[in-house]
Amino acid sequence: MAKVVLITGASAGIGRAAADRLHAAGWNVVGASRRGTSSGGWQPLKMDVDDDEDTSRGVAGVIGEHGRLDAVVASAGWGLAGPVELTPIDQAKAQVETNFWGVVRVVQRALPAMRDQQAGRLVLVSSIGGLIALPFQAFYSASKYALEGYAEGLAYEVEPFGIHVTLVEPGNIRTDFTASRHTIGEDPSGAYAEAAAKAITLMERDEMNGAPPESAAAVIQRVLESKRPRRRVSVGKVGERIGIPAKRLLPHRLFEKAAGSSLGV
């Protein structure tokens, strides 16, 4: 019997690439998104992870239809760019709502079925930006930093039930994430305008020249099919991924100087 995987954010980017790849590999894929569309032969599901009732209905429907849920790939998310000082609180909250609480909602609804099965895989799509904070994307980084801590704590709790948690941490990936990013409007004082424009332009250039989403999908498949999945797996170009051990090993002033230069500040 094919294993059942629920993928959020499946209408685009890494989520869609993962849905296509896992479907081709023989998984029974349910791809959830606000659009409720499918790019292949996998089953689409219209579900908004920002909404409690919609998420409960969606996950319960998958379990009811298929009788089990073997894995969740939480990939729904979006980006918010701009100076912290100028970011409206409602937009900052919306960023965390999807990128963090959206994951929490799906996981909470999936866990009872996985506990009953005494088995399950939770793959949470984080970011290298959840390990190395990004200038003019502070709330995006905050949402991913929160996800990192949540996943680590969660892993302790669910391991006795045969449930494994892995964080996949992409660097720059070439998707429509770039075009759909929300950017804060004009800076009335002009204090941040030049620095923000430089950093965001560099960030968008690096994303458009980033690794293909299929590279992240391949890692997700490997994690799901591994007997001993790792807690964290980074994805992307070596030059980006090297920053993760560098942050641990270098004095913070030296690291931040080097990182700031590469990030356009």
Does the active-site annotation cover 215? no
What phi and psi values does residue 88 have, to the nearest 5 degrees?
Answer: -60, 140
CATH number at residue 132: 3.40.50.720
Domain coverage including residue 69: 4-262
Start-to-end CA distance of the chain, whole Å, equals 52
Catalytic residue among 75, 144, 145, 234: 144
Does the active-site annotation cover 156? no
Q: How do 43-46 and 80-81 pair as beta strands? A: unpaired
pTM: 0.93
For the chain, state the CA radius of gyration. Answer: 18
Does the active-site annotation cover 38? no
pLDDT reported for residue 40? 79
pLDDT reported for residue 239? 78
Catalytic residue among 33, 75, 127, 140: 140
What phi and psi values does residue 74 have, to the nearest 5 degrees?
Answer: -90, 100
Q: Which amino acid is at 252?
A: H
Does the active-site annotation cover 46? no
DSSP 169-216: EE-SB-STTTTT-EE----TT-TTHHHHHHHHHHHHHHHHTSB-HHHH
One pLDDT digit (tens) per residue for the chain, 265 residues: 799 999 999 999 999 999 999 999 999 999 999 999 888 799 999 999 999 999 999 999 999 999 999 999 999 999 999 999 999 999 999 999 999 999 999 999 999 999 999 999 999 999 999 999 999 999 999 999 999 999 999 999 999 999 999 999 999 999 988 888 999 977 778 899 989 999 999 889 989 888 999 999 999 999 999 999 999 999 988 878 888 888 888 898 888 888 787 777 7
What phi and psi values does residue 110 have, to the nearest 5 degrees?
Answer: -85, -30
Catalytic residue among 11, 75, 143, 234: 11
Domain count, the chain: 1
Catalytic residue among 126, 141, 143, 234: 126
